[in-house]
Amino acid sequence: MMNARADRADPAVHEVPVLIVGGSLVGLSTSLFLGRLGVRHTLVERHADTSIHPRGRGNNVRTMELFRVAGVEPDIREAAATLADNHGILQTPTLVGDTGEWLFKEIDPGGGLARFSPSSWCLCSQDDLEPVLLDHAASLGGDLRYSTELMSFDTDSTGVSAVVKSRQTGEHTTIRADYLVAADGPRSPVREQLGIGQSGPGDLFHNISVTFRSDRLAEVVGDRRFIVCYLTSPDADGALLPVDNHGNWVFHAPWHPELGETLEEFTDERCADHIRRAVGDSGLDVRITGKAPWHAAQRVARGYRSGRVFLAGDSAHEMSPTGAFGSNTGIQDAHNLAWKLAAVFGGWAGEALLDTYDSERRPVAEVTSARAAARSAEHSHPGFAPPPGAGGGPRSGILNMVLGHRYPHGAVVGADPTVPVVPEKLTLTGEPGSRAPHLWVRHQGRRVSTLDLYERSMVLLSDADDASEWHKAALRLAEQLPVPLTSYRLGTGPDSELTPEGDVDWAERHGTTRAGAVLVRPDGFVAWRSSGPVPDAELTLRQILSTVLALS
């Protein structure tokens, strides 16, 4: 560890509120979310550009909700247009003929997801998604420095001093930041230097990712528009993923280094032959264009915060890729941390609010990483030999994981500490610590989701007819406190700011009465709710805000 605390008056030192280390999906998402909230930051990434590998393609509905609110969703869906019609997961011993079964054929059969969300799943590969995030983050003023490597850092009670190096010029720069966000991958040098250990079983399995071209494979696949196809031939298993449904494909082949198998053994000839046997067509044209090893693991850091440093994404947790839980969990880490940093920098939250990043997100990662491993067992992922009894039914759902995870402990009041972090069934009814329900409403002449309202402020929902004291209290507090607090009255009358569509009882959907109120955080999670009126609404609301935002 270096011992070179920078003098803040030194003009050679670049000063910035937040330094982000790592410019992949999670680092770029951190930049995007901080930029949306007006927090200055610098991002450093050792690679020269965004990812060139078509991986990490599954963006779940919660992640897409966050990108929707951040104004990025339309551009992501445009970038993802090539695979827009790919939905299912197929498991089959061969692609020749009609053998095999669909683990599921549609991500959202029957369109039931629309009850819960204004958004939907999106299949956008990392090499297509990262440039979109980069463009938006840069347009928001993000200082994004690629080909720049973190060489060393030192922390003290007031911030972080880091030395970074340009890999193009060799120039060294000292950066002084109030906080550092380490999104520097599973082998995180930042986490290692901090001495933060990890829990979990560790490595699960190893694969070689093979990119290849085949002009004829599309004919063999036919009209089967899968996200991934697990090919289960005993002597040539693997996972096939389309890149463009035509000539470009990815194949994940099992690799067993624990048995002495080396990377050098995976020659182009061997990989091409493996793919032909797995597909079931000995004459298939296969031209290998790239190979890269990857490792599936189940590990979670034992702490997400060390003083002025936070871990996010793979530096905080490693998960099996089945279900794309890892990247989505990391992006949602970034969103949780961003609003809290913005609140502290804005002077409307106490520094202790940042401790809730760990108490909220780490339990989610622990449950999610276990679920990801179980899903790999359910799907018989190539190379994975789970312990006896691991996994569940091949069609067990994940929507309760994606939308239903909750924070029993953290920046919430009234959450039931005994409830599981992930419930068995998806129930979004406004419990404190859960993602607020989605309702379509009319607001200033526009149709919006209630989720669209949660980003830059605390939001109080109350009834236009039966809860005027809540609204009045919120307006008074918005003038008295530094806390950005927006109050919306729901109803059909002239005093309402939000008019629900259809015959919807907003209060019932939020688990309260029309005389009650619901307080929602900038990340769309319910901070607190009241089932009815209270003797002093202003005092109650002041106390709740103080508790949630660590102001006392």
Terminal CA-CA length for the chain:
35
Token pair of 238 as six digits: 């693997």
- The domain limits of the chain are 13-82+120-196+300-396, 200-297, 440-548
Query: What's the CATH fold of domain 200-297?
Result: D-Amino Acid Oxidase; Chain A, domain 2 (3.30.9)
For the chain, the C-alpha Rg in angstroms (whole number) is 25
Query: Are the CB atoms for 377 and 391 separated by under 8 Å?
Result: yes
Higher-scoring residue by pLDDT: 387, 430: 430
Q: 159-166 and 148-156: which strand pairing?
A: antiparallel
Token pair of 44 as six digits: 């450093």
Query: Are the CB atoms for 369 and 319 separated by under 8 Å?
Result: yes
Token pair of 367 as six digits: 């449950």
Q: 15-41 pLDDT, tens per residue? A: 999 999 999 999 999 999 999 999 999
Q: 199-211 pLDDT, tens per residue? A: 999 888 899 999 9
Residue range 148-158: mean pLDDT, rounded:
97
Q: Average pLDDT of the chain?
A: 92
Q: 501-512 pLDDT, tens per residue? A: 998 999 999 999
Residue type, 531: S
Classify residue 368 as left (phi > 0), alpha (psi -120 to 50) or beta: alpha
pTM of the model: 0.93
pLDDT attached to residue 436: 98
| Element of type H or E holding 156 | strand 148-156
**3-state SS class at 25:** helix
CA-wise closest residue to 490 among 504, 503, 500: 500
Instruction: Give the alpha-carbon dihedral of 296, 298, 302, 304, to 10 degrees.
Output: 60
Residue in this structure with the two tokens 């440093």, named with its chain if needed: 309
Query: What's the CATH fold of domain 13-82+120-196+300-396?
Result: FAD/NAD(P)-binding domain (3.50.50)
Measured between alpha carbons, how far is 105 from 84 in angstroms, rounded to an integer? 14
| Phi/psi at 186 (5° precision) | -65, -25
Token pair of 515 as six digits: 């005389």
Judge whether residue 109 has pLDDT over 60. Answer: yes
**CA angle centred on 254, ends 248 and 257, rounded to 5°:** 130
Residue type, 234: P
Q: 127-136 pLDDT, tens per residue? A: 899 999 999 9
Higher-scoring residue by pLDDT: 106, 527: 527
CATH code of the region 440-548: 3.40.30.120
Judge whether residue 377 has pLDDT over 80. Answer: no
- The band of 111, judged by pLDDT with boundaries at 50, 70 and 90, is confident
